[in-house]
A and B are shown apart, each in its own frame.
Chain A
Amino acid sequence: MKVVFLSEKKKILYVQTSGVDTPERTFAPFILAATAAAMGMEATIYFLIKGVTVVKRGEADKIKLEGFPTLRQVMDQAVKTGLKLEVCEQSCLLLGLERGDFVDAAKIVGAATLNDRLLDADAVMCF
């Protein structure tokens, strides 16, 4: 009998560099992450560069594409599956945005964490 421990879960990392100015690129990481959880994987989305705009509080509520729920609904559903959201706050500087004011689920992390997650992940996909 093979015993599967929690730590043996496959890790998948999505790197979101696209922002709310390209709304069609913002849904896929959340949909994939929710699916990954259903498949027994541990999913994380790391937001940097323009990607940080996606997790600024209130922004996801404004994004609605035909045939899809709002990005907020998709995000909330994905977060409920245990998805981790990590955000590079320094990217705000690049974009001339105020620091902070991210959605509750987002954890502020930095460069060392991204390097660590990249090496730890079994697969990485960038949007």
Chain B
Amino acid sequence: MQETSCDAQEKEMPSNIKPDRVLDCTGLYCPEPVLRTRIELDNMVVGEVLQTLGDDPAAEEDIKSLVKRIGHELFELSREDDVLRFLIRKIK
């Protein structure tokens, strides 16, 4: 079994949660999705949800690692075609 660095498992059917902010990182490669996600989270208030979109395959593990290290919650990860959709809740 592939070890993941967060509790979120990839979902077949993404939920309909409406994010407070959307960050489109499609077309961007490492480390841009990580750096931009960090900046966006810094500008949010606790409890808000950020949706980050990205098509760099590296973003999957990278965003998981980022969110775990800075203490927020990646509660959903889904994929449509080659685009990953991360739903992150700001915790602190």
Contact = CB atoms under 8 A, between A and B. Distances in A.
A113 B60 CA distance: 9
A89 B30 contact: yes
A17 interface: no
Which range holds the interface residue count of chain B?
10 to 19
Contact of B65 (A89, A107, A112): A112
Interface in A20-60: none
Interface string B34-70: 1000000000000000000000111111110110110
8 A-B pairs closest in CB distance: A110-B30, A110-B58, A116-B65, A112-B62, A108-B57, A109-B61, A113-B61, A110-B62
Interface of A: 86, 88-90, 107-113, 115-116
Interface of B: 5, 29-31, 34, 56-63, 65-66, 68-69
5 contacts: A89-B57, A110-B56, A110-B61, A111-B34, A112-B65
Given A110-B56, A112-B63, 17 more contacts: A88-B58, A89-B29, A89-B56, A89-B57, A90-B58, A107-B61, A108-B58, A109-B61, A109-B62, A111-B30, A112-B62, A112-B66, A112-B69, A113-B58, A113-B62, A113-B65, A116-B5
